[in-house]
Amino acid sequence: MTIQESIRDLDRRAVLRSAEIVAEVRGDQWDAPTPCAGWTLRRLLDHMTAQHLGFAAAAGGETSDASVWEEKPLADPGRAYAEAVDAVLTAFAADGVSEQEFWLPEIHPKMRFPGARAIGFHFLDYVVHGWDVAASLGIPAAYDADLLDAAAEVARTEVPEGPSRERPGAAFRPALALSGRESAEDRLLLVLGRDPQWSPK
């Protein structure tokens, strides 16, 4: 089975793992720094929640209302995130969603993306953002090996090197140096410009 054929299951597992990690956040940790430069944990959760809701809307056929992607300050980030997880996983579970076209205005305001490819974007984002939250908390992300392998393949095909990674607000920064001795998780992070040794302290 190809990654595109299994992408919904891969995404579901990555998102559910991210929800488990977010559930570990204590009330006094929302202002902690994260690997996303300048973002606190609260700000990262605002983003992660909004992205789930945007992708859920796209899966439901939204093609013009960009407001569904807007990030909003969340009074209860943990609860809002859990609700957004339910929304996006329900939307992605619908029959035929892998074949329909997704409107993803944050990637391109006019293009439409095949559903399986769009879910691949979402999958990679939440493998990485799950790690971001885990790193902020000082706990392991503990992804299964097949998730990391699939995320590496999506990164290889969908996240090219180039000037786009240098732009303000880019999802991924230029790749960092590889030694050839990294774990699968560390290798994925380095390829996407994350420092596996990042620490909140």
* Residue 170 lies inside a defined structural domain of this protein: no
Do 117 and 149 touch, CB atoms closer than 8 A?
Answer: no
Nearest to 15 by CA among 174, 200, 147: 147
The pLDDT tens digits of the residues spanning 159-168 come to 777 776 677 7
* Residue 189 lies inside a defined structural domain of this protein: no
Task: With 0.75 as the threshold, say if the pTM is over it.
Answer: yes
Give residue 169's pLDDT: 65
Helix 115-137 vs helix 41-59: crossing angle, to nearest 10: 160
The pLDDT tens digits of the residues spanning 106-137 come to 888 889 999 999 999 999 999 999 999 999 99
Number of domains present in the structure of the chain = 1
The parent domain of residue 154 ranges over 3-161
Give residue 161's pLDDT: 76
List the structure tokens of 115: 């559903």
Do 129 and 18 touch, CB atoms closer than 8 A?
Answer: yes
- The torsion angle over the Cα atoms of residues 114, 145, 19 and 188, rounded to 10 degrees, is -70
* Residue 96 lies inside a defined structural domain of this protein: yes
* Residue 10 lies inside a defined structural domain of this protein: yes
**Arithmetic mean of pLDDT, 81-91:** 98
Nearest to 36 by CA among 168, 160, 149: 168
142: domain CATH number is: 1.20.120.450
Indicate if the pLDDT at residue 176 is higher than 70: yes
* Residue 182 lies inside a defined structural domain of this protein: no
Phi, psi at 136, each rounded to 5°: -60, -35
The pLDDT tens digits of the residues spanning 37-82 come to 899 999 999 999 999 999 999 999 999 999 999 999 999 999 999 9
The pLDDT tens digits of the residues spanning 10-19 come to 999 999 999 9
